Amino acid sequence: MIAILKQSASDEAVSHIVSWIEKKGLKTDVSRGENETIIGLVGDTTKIDPFLLESMDVVERVQRVSEPFKRANRKFHPEDSVIDCGHGVKIGGDQFQVIAGPCSVEGENLIRIARRVKAAGATMLRGGAYKPRTSPYAYQGMGPAGLDLLCEASAELDMPIVTEIMDPRDVQVFLDKKIDVMQIGARNAQNFPLLKEVGKTKTPILLKRGMSGTIDELLMAAEYIMSEGNDNVILCERGIRTFETRTRNTFDLNAVPVLHHLSHLPVVADPSHATGYTRYVEPMALAATACGANGLEIEVHDDPSHAWSDGAQALTPDQFDDTMRRIRAIREVVCQEPVQE
C-alpha cells in the first residue's frame, strides 16, 4: 500500500503520518519527490484502514499495490489448481467438466434426469435439496430426503454430486452424507459464517459470485474459505444484476479470463442462472466454453413446464444432448495448440 501526499504536506505532517503508521507495527519508506511525497507501507497492511488514511488532510490518495487475497492469488501459486471432486472427476487446468441436473431435487424424476445427463456426457450431477427462494412461501427444497436421493443417484451412476448448502449448522449433515461438492449460492456469497464453516472441511466448494458481487469480492469470499484451510474452491460466474431486464442476469464472461489471470482456482460458468431462459442457455454455454471456463453448470429437467423451480431456464434432456455435442466441438477448437506466429 502506498499513500501519496499532497504537494503542500509539511515535514511535520509527513512525520506525523509516518509515526501513526509505524505505531500500527508497519515499516515506512518515504520518498520525497519534487511534486509529491510518497509513503510506502511495508508489512501487514490489513492493520491499516485505507479509508481512514485517505481521510487525513495531507493525504491525496491511497493505493493498494498488492491484492488483499493471498491464498487464491495466482502470484503465489502460478500453476492452475486441479480439484478432485471424487468418483475420478477432476476440474481445473485442462480438465473440463459439465455439471448438470435439475434446479431442485423433486423426487423420483431425479434419477431419470441423472441417467440422461450422464448419457449426454455430463460428469457431475447437480440438484438443490435446500433452495434459497426470494419468497418464504415458495418451494424451499426437500432437505435431507433430497440429499438422500442425490446420494442414491450418485451411487448408481458413479458421479459426484453438487448441491447447495445454506446454513452453517448443516455442514455436519453434508459431511455425514459424504456430499462430494457443496455449492455456496449467489445469495450466500458473502455469508461469512457459512464460508468459514465450509472452510473447516476438505470438501470441494463450488462458490458462486454474488448477484451484485465484484470479481474481487468473489475472490475475497474464496479467501475466507481458504484461510480456514480448505483450498478446494471452484469459482462460479453465474451472472450479475445490471440495468438489463431482457435476461435474468447479465452473464459477465469477462470474469472468466480475469479470474484466470488473478487466480489459480478453476472457474465454472453457469449460463442457466445467467440468462434465465432456455433459448439463451446453449449459445452462452458455448461462449463460456470458448472463453476458457473449466466447466459449466447447466439446469436440465425432463418436464420443464412442471419444474418446481427455474423451469423457464431448464433444458430438456434432448436439448442438453445437442448442447453437449456443440460444447465438445468448441472444446476441440479451444484445446488446439496455439498457432505459431
- Joined together, the cell numbers standing for residue 76 give 503465489
- Joined together, the cell numbers standing for residue 260 give 484466470
Question: What's the one-letter identity of residue 308?
Answer: W
Is residue 186 near ligand PEP by the rule CB under 6 A? Answer: yes
Give me the least distance between CB of 299 and Mn ion, in Å please.
6
Give me the least distance between CB of 231 and ligand PEP, in Å please.
22
Q: Which range in 28-36, 99-107, 203-211, 275-283 contacts Mn ion by CB under 5 A? A: 99-107
For residue 303, give the 3-state DSSP assignment: coil
The conformation of residue 96, written as its DSSP 8-state character, comes to -
How many angstroms separate the CA atoms of 250 and 242, rounded?
6
Q: Which range in 25-33, 36-44, 114-122, 183-191 contacts ligand PEP by CB under 6 A? A: 183-191
Is residue 166 near Mn ion by the rule CB under 5 A? Answer: no
Distance of CA 211 to the CA centre of its chain: 11
Give me the least distance between CB of 273 and Mn ion, in Å please.
6
Is residue 238 near ligand PEP by the rule CB under 6 A? Answer: yes
Q: Which range in 30-38, 182-190, 194-202, 226-234 contacts ligand PEP by CB under 6 A? A: 182-190
How many angstroms separate the CA atoms of 210 and 189, rounded?
5
Of 202, 102, 118, the closest CA to residue 159 belongs to 118
Minimum CB distance to ligand PEP smaller for 238 or for 301: 238
Q: Which residues from 220-259 bind Mn ion, rule CB under 5 A?
A: none
Is residue 310 near Mn ion by the rule CB under 5 A? Answer: yes
> Which residue has its beta carbon closest to ligand PEP?
185
Of 238, 265, 65, 86, the closest CA to residue 162 belongs to 86
Residue 196 contact among Mn ion, ligand PEP, none, beta carbon within 5 to 8 Å by kind: none
Minimum CB distance to Mn ion smaller for 106 or for 310: 310
Of 257, 258, 239, 243, the closest CA to residue 299 belongs to 239
For residue 63, the cross-strand partners are 2
Is residue 103 near ligand PEP by the rule CB under 6 A? Answer: yes
Q: Which range in 23-31, 55-63, 184-192, 282-290 contacts ligand PEP by CB under 6 A? A: 184-192
The conformation of residue 187, written as its DSSP 8-state character, comes to G
Residue 186 contact among Mn ion, ligand PEP, none, beta carbon within 5 to 8 Å by kind: ligand PEP
Contact between 280 and 247 under an 8 Å Cβ cutoff? The reply is yes
Is residue 128 near ligand PEP by the rule CB under 6 A? Answer: yes
Of 230, 229, 243, 223, the closest CA to residue 203 belongs to 230
Give me the least distance between CB of 31 and ligand PEP, in Å please.
46
Is residue 103 near Mn ion by the rule CB under 5 A? Answer: yes
Minimum CB distance to Mn ion smaller for 101 or for 213: 101
For residue 162, give the 3-state DSSP assignment: strand
Residue 264 contact among ligand PEP, Mn ion, none, beta carbon within 5 to 8 Å by kind: none
- Joined together, the cell numbers standing for residue 129 give 435439496
How many angstroms separate the CA atoms of 132 and 181, rounded?
17
Give me the least distance between CB of 216 and ligand PEP, in Å please.
18
Of 180, 241, 187, the closest CA to residue 205 belongs to 180
Which residues sit at the interface with ligand PEP, rule CB under 6 A?
103, 128, 132, 185-187, 208, 238, 273
